[in-house]
Amino acid sequence: MSLLEVKGVKRSYGNLQVLRGIDMVIRRGEVVAIVGASGAGKSTLLHVMGTLDKPDSGTVSFDNKNLFRLSETELAEFRNRHIGFVFQFHNLLAEFTALENVCMPAYIGKWGTEKEIREKGKALLGVLGLSDRGEHLPSQLSGGEQQRVAVARALINSPDIVFADEPSGNLDSHNAEELHRLFFELRKEMGCTFVIVTHNEQLAEMADRRLMMKDGLLVDS
């Protein structure tokens, strides 16, 4: 079943045409890897798919609803409820504990009481092997642990789809492997859908589909 559909998406920065007409369909429960040379437009595409950036033309539809027809407020609400993001530099808030960071999107979305949200945050930290790290600040965690906190944060609102931009780009090979395994475990356990931009060939090989970007277009890989 199609979850997200991208049609004819184009995006330029000044004279630079970064996305030159992208069409793709993401099905529920898929793990899709997007690979390609530096500068090919992968992050730009991910940002447009995640509605963080608007295309110049073309559409992104979720459950057959054209997302860029929504107002900014509706779009922010939509992102909070349906989308999780994991970035290369996890962007955890330094002055908040791991658990508080994980719970932050839920406090914004307000789908439950503070107690309910904290319980879910703790449960997620448990799933990610971080039960005893909840009260630590990001600076007291290893790089791999910080990235797993970022994954828990991406999952707290039970998103339909998680976009990850070079999630293991900053990790050593052991931590990278652990993180990659986790994505597939989470798909199995929670039915999450993942779209992952990566330079990591091992991860791209593990994915259900590997899409290659070249000069702003998707090409056969």
Residues lying near ligand ATP in the complex (CB under 6 A): 13, 16, 18, 36, 38-44
Nearer of residues 36 and 105 to ligand ATP, judged by Cβ: 36
Helix (H, G, I), strand (E, B) or coil at 12: strand
Nearer of residues 41 and 121 to ligand ATP, judged by Cβ: 41
Q: Who contacts 163 (Cβ-Cβ below 8 Å, separation ≥6)? A: 46, 49, 50, 83, 84, 85, 86, 194, 195, 196
Nearer of residues 40 and 151 to ligand ATP, judged by Cβ: 40
Minimum separation from the CB atom of position 123 to ligand ATP (A): 33
Minimum separation from the CB atom of position 126 to ligand ATP (A): 32
Nearer of residues 1 and 13 to ligand ATP, judged by Cβ: 13
Question: What CA–CA distance (Å, rounded) separates 148 from 125?
Answer: 8
Minimum separation from the CB atom of position 93 to ligand ATP (A): 24
Nearer of residues 38 and 64 to ligand ATP, judged by Cβ: 38
Minimum separation from the CB atom of position 37 to ligand ATP (A): 7
Nearer of residues 39 and 143 to ligand ATP, judged by Cβ: 39
Minimum separation from the CB atom of position 103 to ligand ATP (A): 29
Minimum separation from the CB atom of position 213 to ligand ATP (A): 6
Tell me which residue has tokens 């092997």.
129
